[in-house]
A and B are shown apart, each in its own frame.
Chain A
């Protein structure tokens, strides 16, 4: 009871420091320390695997198979995967090409669709949008397996095209949903003004919507690239030596006689660092984007 009065006192007169001091009871301090410790545990949990991978990547061969943290850093592991015995430059270029083309194709398609959902009320709008979102729940194997035999018949197995086509299955619905949210937020007045000036539909999309939605388009570009880059199931089914992507190429370091962990860590950095940078760029939209808008 006295405690309650104390708090109210402190609240009405926050400028008096002497009255705030006694509020920190032993229990509260203990809670504060517990919270601090818990925060440090979270930091450890989140960061340690990333740091350990980065550390291992620079270890000389002898040190990789120890848990030492003091060693003379070496670039041998990177030499091994760039122009070395396990050259991963080719898979890396494949990953870049596939991710770029997937992005370039998917974002305009998704923007057009998002615009329609956002600006028109038409029969079937709700069910079509729901259907598009629902495609995100289809298991990859149910798409990869039929494509495996179809692409074989078309002679397209192990090509960039095969992986671009399958990546579109993920990225187009995803970006449609993402961009719809952004277009919803754009003011309609600018469009009206443009229309009154006699601006045609295509010109309107290109000259008015695209610049206005630029931040949203940037986010969708990042996600399209990230989803394509990290994709593993489709290239495992549909690619071999020619179109192999970087995440799948990690498996070439995983030999029956043991894993080249040093080079694995170095390759891991190549896979991870660009995506960490991209994710940081769209930090604010990340949780929302990754969960189909579960959180606003």
Chain B
């Protein structure tokens, strides 16, 4: 890769503005500083920016870093809120050991994993398909594109209720449609069977995400210049080849980023589990988030719940690191 200035000529105007702005603002700050009063340069370089950051950093520290630390500390202690008001003795890694010996914990990991894989594949796959279908300039595609954001604006808890309603055994409209179109599904009680109950949660999630992901891919497809397409068509390329040879390679970095992003949000699934199944039937749809909730709330075991929540922090941390690394690579290109 050429590190030289040739590659630097490319970045979008925003980047260019930022680059020059930092350089210029230092001199302006110097002028302003000289005009006002003599300030040490360390204050100008570090103090002023951090003075701007302080309110936000205090808010973030108090609302995320501090509670995260409290949760970590609680995870090394014995603490049942029905027994004592304050955390009890230090128990080392016992709560973590408990998790790795708990079949219900493994169940939650398994449910979360299955849910994540299926919802990521469906959301990204459908999103891509929708983007390819809608990547045309006409009024119907335009209208559909404009409507794609709607599902994501719907509160996830409500998505849950709405999909649960549509899959109700006696009066659900999707239940009726599916059973009319696919008679062999006639005996299925969608919310009563472990696999299908999870699938209804998946569908409610895919409904929100696939259209949004389609919008992201449409943005990516829009950056492919029409000349490339025209050239390909002139050469007799069919739609299938056009996708695999042109669109897919250009979208690949974006697809990877979207997969990571969706995976992070899928691992955090909570709202629809509560509103569609409450973790049931049995424990068939108990995600990790829901497991922490039930340990903390129903069983009042704060120590254990904190340990599991920290396991979740680590899992998501790994996914986040992958995501941020991909984004960083994308930026530097």
Q: Determine if chain A interacts with chain B.
A: yes
State in angstroms the CA–CA spacing of A117 and B22 once bound together: 10
Chain B interface, >50% SS class:
helix
Chain A residues, CB < 8 A from B216: 287, 291, 294-295
Give how many A residues have a beta carbon under 8 Å from the other chain's beta carbons: 116
- The docked-state distance in angstroms from the alpha carbon of A153 to that of B154 is 34
Q: A46 and B211: CB pair below 8 A?
A: yes
Which secondary structure characterizes the binding site on chain A? helix
Closest to B214 in A: A42
7 CB < 8 A contacts A-B: A43-B143, A142-B67, A142-B68, A142-B71, A188-B25, A275-B155, A290-B212
A39 & B141 in contact (Cβ 8 Å cutoff): yes
**Binary contact readout B133-157 vs A (1 if CB under 8 angstroms, 0 otherwise):** 1101000110110111111111111
Task: Assess A119 versus B25: contact at CB under 8 Å? Given A184-B17, A268-B158.
Answer: yes
Report B81 CB to chain A, min CB distance, Å: 7
Quick one: given A113-B52, A295-B220, are A43 and B21 in contact (CB under 8 Å)?
A: no
A109-B56, A120-B48, A138-B316 given as contacts; is B211 within 8 A of A247 (CB)? no
CA of A112 to CA of B56, assembled, Å? 8
**Measuring CB to CB, which residues of chain A are less than 8 angstroms from any residue of chain B?**
3-4, 7-8, 11, 31, 35-36, 38-39, 42-43, 45-47, 49-50, 52-53, 56, 64-67, 105-106, 108-110, 112-113, 115-123, 125, 128, 130, 132-135, 137-143, 145-150, 153, 165-166, 168-169, 172-173, 176, 181, 184-188, 191-192, 195-196, 198, 200-201, 226, 229-230, 232-233, 236-237, 247-248, 250-251, 254, 259, 261, 264-265, 268, 271-272, 275-276, 278-280, 283, 286-288, 290-296
Interface residue? B226 (CB, 8 A): no
CB within 8 A of A112: which of B32, B53, B210?
B53
Contact (Cβ within 8 A) B18 A118: yes
* 6 extra A-B contacts, CB within 8 A, seeds A50-B150, A113-B57: A43-B144, A141-B293, A149-B74, A169-B67, A195-B32, A292-B327
Q: Are A119 and B211 in contact (CB under 8 A)?
A: no
Residues in B whose Cβ lies below 8 Å from that of A278: 153
Q: Which residues of B contact A176 (CB under 8 A)?
A: 56
